[in-house]
Amino acid sequence: MTSESKHLSERINRPADEVYDYASDPANLPEWAPGLGSSVEQVDGRWFVDTPMGRVGFAFAPRNEYGVLDHDVTLPSGEIIYNPVRVITDGSGSEVIFTLRRLPGMSDEEFERDADAVAADLTRLKRVLQRPDDLRDPDGLRDVCDAQSDAQQGQRGEQQG
């Protein structure tokens, strides 16, 4: 029996190897893929994440030079969901492609909800990786606050001078 797939992608203005290195580190998942879970821990060499449906295991494909980020997610029921993901070079940047598979019995609404969640995670990955290396502020608020602070300090200097 064949299943339906949907390919979701995001272009990221970072080299593919940087995107792969960041996205393949399970410790980074809560920052860019909170839909998967909010906290990650490694126990006896296996990775787990706490999700609304319970504790879920996950395992990435072994590190490789081809940008393959496929991963298995083991649900609390023991069911294993295979998720194909690739990071490919696109000019000086990269593209991350996630193949979402419709699970047996999944409604159109559930499939679209999953697609929306994956798309949001890919957008978040882009935002995280395209901000300055020393800035961990996904919404860009620190830049705005710093600019306002600099402007206020400049005005104070003009008033004093």
Complete edge-to-edge strand list for the sheet that includes strand 39-43: 39-43, 46-51, 54-60, 71-74, 80-83
Q: Is residue 123 part of a domain?
A: yes
pLDDT tens track for 58-105? 999 999 999 999 999 999 999 999 999 999 999 999 999 999 999 989
Residue 103: which of 119, 121, 79 has the closest Cα?
Answer: 79
Q: Can you tell me whether residue 89 is helix, strand or coil?
A: strand
Task: Evaluate whether residue 89 is within a structural domain.
Answer: yes
Identity of residue 58: F
pLDDT digits (tens, 9 = 90+) for 127-154: 999 987 655 444 444 444 444 444 444 4
| 118 domain-assigned | yes
Domain that holds residue 103: 5-130
In a domain, 27, yes or no: yes
Which two structure tokens, joined as six digits, stand for 6? 């949907």
- Predicted confidence at residue 53, as pLDDT, reads 83
Whether the full predicted model's pTM is greater than 0.85, yes or no, is no
pLDDT above 70 coverage of the chain, percent: 81
The pLDDT of 113-129, averaged and rounded, is 95
Q: How far apart are CA 76 and CA 124, in angstroms?
A: 26
The number of distinct structural domains making up the chain is 1
The reply to whether 141 falls in a domain is no
* CB atoms inside a 10 Å sphere around CB 121: 20
- 112: domain CATH number is 3.30.530.20
How does residue 17 score in pLDDT terms, banded at 50, 70 and 90? Answer: very high
